[in-house]
Structure 1
Amino acid sequence: MDGLGGTLERAAADGDVVDGWLQGLAGNQVLPVEVLDRLLEFDELPTANSWLKYRALDAAATELLVASPQIQRRLDVTENATADVDVLARLARDPEPRVRFAYAVMLFEYKRRIPAGVLEILAQDPEPKIRRIVGESEKPPVAVQEPPPGLMAEQRVTHPDPAVRMKAAADPEVPTVLALRLAEDPENDVRLAVSMREELTEEQRTAIPCTVWQHFWSPPPWIARQATDPEAARRIARSAHVGLRRVLAAQPHLTPGVVALLAADEDEWVRRTLAESCEDAPHELLVELYATVQDRYWSGYRNHRNFARPGLARFADDPNPRLRHAALDDPEAGPELVLRLADDPEVGGWAVRDPRLPADELLRRLTLPAHAAAAAGNPALPVAVMHHLLDLARAR
């Protein structure tokens, strides 16, 4: 630490470096509670105001924030999904109405376990809007009834309300011969509902003109039932009706043969639905979509259980920066790969945060303005160094 201390003291003369330390520590997911406590002494940090919402919090860290004199920090902890629910319960008696309201909202938004006595406290809160939240949560769900009730099947398929006709089109209790009258309905969603009935032949389905949307508001339940039967699932996977294939791809588990068919499907949304919803989606498909999808969901494929596996290091020199980033997920890759990518202009920050980065290199990069934040966010950073960084930041 002696030589390093002098190096860090010299680096602390650069305000950008110090700001990087504070920003990196705020995002470090293994920050000990005593370091978090010191970090909270800074009234403002050079990072997003919401940093406390997204970091991991154990009971001790939750305690720090619940007891904070700063209202914003107590508000932030109500939105942290990892916060300890028993410690959070103290916020039901918080002196600030905004905090009690936020706590009550997130209690039900996150479907948190509700400690004993909390609902009774909130139900007697002096703020009417807080009492209403509790009152609404205790109301039994209202049964949704199809308008108007008591219609016969023939009346439903000829009803002027397209919502009634659409439900009739999908209802297996409506005879097929009646439902098929809706194959020429003026409303696309009605025709689509008919085309996805379980008993129809492929010829009958393809004869119904309809547009299939990317997502379904109410997928036909029969597809989920048949998905557990390998032969039936294969028939659906080979159907010419892309809607059936998309709904099948959304099932949580499918046999390898069915997965292979859907992963090779010509329809992008069949493949994407498989990758986003099915736990059995193949590694190759996940990597392909991670590398090529252009909307905001592209990074989610990396979180799939089948994405990270030995072999990803082969992408370390790929021209696609997403794949070079993925190379860091290879559990068999050593510090040499991490060190090589640390100077990559597009993925270097991720490499510097990687705990496999050699210790001497991690400490050196704390002194570089471009890498100070990433280095301070590395979970392998020694706790003594964290404290030293805070000493220097406090002294500036």
Structure 2
Amino acid sequence: MRLATHEAGRHGLTLRRGQVPDAVVEALLTHGGRDSAVLLHGHRISTAMRRRIAEHPDPAIRDAHADFVRTMVERGVPMGIEDLIDAYGRPPAELAAASDPKLRAMVAETWRDRPIAVQLRLLTDPDPGVRAAATKAEHPGVPPEYYEHCLADPAVRANAACRVPLTPDQFDRLLATGDETVLHAVAGNPHLTADMVARLQDSADPSVRVAVAYSRHVTPETRNRLLALVEAEDAAGSDEAALALHWTPYQPSWLRDAPLAERLTYLDCPHTVFRQILATGRDLPEEAWQRLDNDPDVSVRRAAAHRPDTPPQFLLRLIRAHGEAAHTRPLLVDHPNFPRQALRDFVDEPNPRLRLLALKDPELPVAELRRLAASQESYLRGGAARHPNVTTDLLERLLVDPEPTVAENAAANPALSRAGMDRILAEAGL
């Protein structure tokens, strides 16, 4: 209740997980008005509070969430289907038939488990934006009887061209459009025949050549030649070639489902992406795992390390040598085979990113916590502030850290006492 009187306190309260107590909702509405009401909706508040807001005398509060959602729809910002239902007060099937094409497009983009009857209406919607949204995702997809219709529609042609099986005539017509987006979509279609892939080999577009090189229908020699051409163009300064090589959406995903004997032929493939995908398998023989565990590319070794039976010492050695790939989940340090007892040893690592991993040990001794809390790197101090084993005096020190994020982490630690919370509020005049 005291926090609700302060702007930062209201912000924190509205970000809490779970349902907000009724009395706190009332305080937020009183002090935060429309800004707080925008975030108070759905299961976050009780039925009584939903009714209270719906009947509120101030229209700015009463309509806050609905107005926000409608604004986002108007701007094309994706909103969840539950938000749309809540804001417009209508079931999704009715929203899919709304008069506003922007709303229909938003429903088409976010209501992924819609019935086929609704999908067919969206595929033939008079608005091209709605049709494009209906085919943006792989599911619910385009039924076979609508393939020709969608491939002939400029609004959805590229979305369909990258997924549906193509006849030779359809393939020819798509190439004849001269549309680069359509060409890239066709090049990545997993259903292309060997003849179609062969016709794309001599494309002047480096992205198309990369897509062809990743096809299962080309020989190793052709693959090497195509990728070497793009690499040479990249070395010569071509932005298109650099994009095709380093930011390509294409992958040889078909390799995941290939028979084991075929997959094993890629153990010596000179192109890393093939070995990466091979390493995501779970049925490889021990000799193959040994090769992948010693692959010259660390990304391949990381992929192999995610298998269920990875040796503990390999996990430890890999992390010590190369750290974690923070963008990949789960982390290797969270692997069931990772030797958890080794975590606290990371406190002595010279690399601060490795020292951070020591904080994954929930029983890290206080002496080690103090060392990390005195680090120059704010993310190490912040990690110490979040740690469950932090002491009261150490928490007090981190609460006044010059880096705001560190102080916030300390203030959010469940170890902070009620007396400590009261003091913080009193010092803020709350």
Cα-to-partner distance string for 1:164-185 (whole Å, 9 max, x where unaligned) = 5555555566542453243222
- Output the TM-score relative to the length of structure 2: 0.59
Are the equivalent residues in 2 in contact too, given 1:335–1:358 (CA < 8 A)? yes
> Alignment partner for residue 120 of structure 1, among 89, 105, 118?
89
- Alignment correspondent of 2:346: 315
Of 256, 279, 282, the residue aligned with 1:224 is 256
**Deviation of residue 43 (structure 1)?**
3.7
Structure 2 counterpart of 1:180, which letter? A
- How many residue pairs get aligned? The number is 334
The answer to whether 1:380 aligns with 2:415 is yes
> For 1:99, which of 52, 65, 73 is the aligned residue?
65
Counterpart CA distance in 2 for 1:354 and 1:243 is 38
Deviation for aligned residue 1:353: 3.1
Gap regions ≥5 residues in structure 1: 1-36, 124-128, 292-297
Preserved contact between residue 58 and residue 84 of structure 1 (Cα < 8 Å): yes
Look up the equivalent residue of 1:351 and give its one-letter code: A
Q: Pick closer, same or farther for the CA change 1:135–1:199 going to 2, 3 Å.
A: closer
What is residue 8 of structure 1 aligned with on the other side? none
Corresponding position of 2:234: none
**Aligned partner of 2:6: which letter?**
F
Q: Greater shift after overlay, 282-291 or 348-357?
A: 282-291
More relative contact order, 1 or 2 (CA 8 Å, 6+ apart): 1
**Counterparts of 1:189 and 1:317 in 2: how far apart (Å)?**
45
2:29 maps to: 68
Q: Is the contact between residue 62 and residue 84 of structure 1 (CA under 8 Å) also seen in structure 2?
A: no
Is 1:240 paired with 2:270? yes
Match of 1:29?
Answer: none
1:184 aligns with 2:232: no
The C-alpha deviation readout for 1:332-378, integer Å capped at 9, x for no partner, is 53333213322223223421332202345435665777876554332
Counterparts of residues 355-370 of structure 1 (less than 5 Å): 355-363=388-396
Establish whether residue 389 from structure 1 lines up as the match of residue 424 from structure 2. Answer: yes
Q: 1:325 aligns with which of 356, 364, 383?
A: 356
Task: Pick the aligned partner of 1:207 from 201, 221, 225.
Answer: 225
RMSD: 4.8
Structure 1 range deviating more: 251-260 or 233-242: 251-260
* Counterparts in 2 of 1:195 and 1:372: CA distance versus 1, 3 Å: closer
Name 1:38's counterpart in structure 2. 2
Q: Write the letter of the residue equivalent to 1:385.
A: G
Cα separation, 1, equivalents of 2:344 and 2:429: 40
* One-letter code aligned to 1:356: N
Inter-partner Cα distance in structure 2 for 1:220 and 1:388: 59
Deviations 1:148-199 (A, max 9, x none): 9975278369746355555555556654245324322212222222222224
Which letter maps to 1:101? D
- CA shift, 1:267, in A, is 4.5
Alignment partners' CA distance in 1, 2:407 and 2:35: 27
Aligned residues of 1:366 and 1:372 also touching (Cα < 8 A): yes
CA-to-partner distance for each residue in 1:234-274, whole Å, 9 max, x for gaps? 4345322334345556x5967696676556544466567x4
Give matches, 1:46-85, under 5 Å. Answer: 51=12, 55-60=15-20, 64=24, 68-69=29-30, 70=32, 71-75=34-38, 84=44
Kindly indicate whether the alpha-carbon contact (under 8 Å) linking 1:56 and 1:83 is maintained by their aligned counterparts in 2.
no
Distance 2:183 2:399 in 1: 65
| Counterpart residue number, 1:10 | none
Q: Does 1:193 align with 2:193?
A: no
One-letter amino acid of the counterpart of residue 245, structure 2: W
Q: Is the 8 A contact 1:352 1:378 kept in 2?
A: yes
Give distance in 2, aligned partners of 1:354 and 1:385: 17
**Separation in 1 of the partners of 2:176 and 2:230?**
20
C-alpha contact 2:19 2:43 (8 A) present in aligned 1: yes
SS at match of 1:394: coil
Q: Deviations over 1:84-139 (max 9, x none)?
A: 38779667888335532334659x9464656987653599xxxxx99666433445
CA–CA distance in structure 2, aligned partners of residues 86 and 115 of structure 1: 19
Distance 1:289 1:246 in 2: 17
Shift in Å at residue 313 of structure 1? 1.4
Are the equivalent residues in 2 in contact too, given 1:262–1:271 (CA < 8 A)?
yes
**Aligned counterparts of 1:369 and 1:299: Cα–Cα separation in 2:** 26
